[in-house]
Amino acid sequence: MIDTHIHGDSRSSEDFKKMYLGGIDSVISCSFYPYNLLNETVLLNHLNRILEFDTDRAKNYGIDMKVALGIHPANTDITPDLIYKHLYKWIHDKKIIAIGEIGLDELTEKEIAIFKKQLNIADDTKTKVIIHTPRENKKEILQKTKEIITDNINPKLVVIDHVNMNIIEDVIDEKYTIGLTVQPEKMEVTEAIEILDKYGFDRFLLNSDISNKPSDPLSVPKTVRQLTKLNYNKKEIEKVAFKNAKKFFKI
């Protein structure tokens, strides 16, 4: 299985062990710094840490950690040019498989400018992007996010993540790939299955978004096993367990 969105830097070695035993082979670790950034060098250090340190930590437990880096909307209180420069370099050197997670939280001018620039970098370099939808004002912020996507990037490069029943109709007719995050306080296994049952398995990725917030490192295996238990078609289950992610991210 592939867990398509985690924050490995904030999780323990015990979690990696558990995930591996639970059937997870690969994860995509995304950037998010949970504390005030003194400056962009602190953010750069956070990003390099994921790339160089956490990938190794996960490997010790059998997990192949792929990396998505970028400037999370909560981390936009910096001068971003240093990070843009590194994004180009990481993309060129094939160190990252996507820019992420990025997006909008509060619609400040700075947040919007940094979001647009990262979409332009992704579009220029034909790199995938992992775009979140926030916990607060999800529907309203998704509308703005969609407008900005339309003007700045090929939608086929885009994952819209943390989609739930309330916003699925706003994304299902677009060309995006759709992330379902099964996490305490976000979405239960049953809601994810309800969405897959209604809209089919072709467009979706599964993830746990394990972070410093309440999380379940086994939420992807739990969802996949529940689908199996409910007798969904094996080939369909494989799409959300790993095939869609492999194809989309070319991993």
Smallest separation (angstroms) from Zn ion to the CB of 6: 8
Residue 11 vs 237, nearer CB to Zn ion: 11
Smallest separation (angstroms) from Zn ion to the CB of 145: 15
Instruction: Write out 183-230 in H/E/C secondary structure.
Output: ECCCECHHHHHHHHHHHCCCCEEEECCCCCCCCCCCHHHHHHHHHHHC
Residue 67 vs 237, nearer CB to Zn ion: 67
Residue 101 vs 111, nearer CB to Zn ion: 101
Residue 73 vs 80, nearer CB to Zn ion: 73
From the CA atom positions of the chain, what is the Rg in Å?
A: 17
**Joined tokens for residue 53:** 């340190």
Residue 3 vs 237, nearer CB to Zn ion: 3
Smallest separation (angstroms) from Zn ion to the CB of 243: 22
Smallest separation (angstroms) from Zn ion to the CB of 91: 20
Please work out, in degrees rounded to the nearest 5, the angle formed at the alpha carbon of residue 161 by the alpha carbons of 32 and 204. Answer: 140
Residue 54 vs 209, nearer CB to Zn ion: 209
Where does this chain bind Zn ion (CB under 5 A)? 101, 209
Residue 122 vs 210, nearer CB to Zn ion: 210
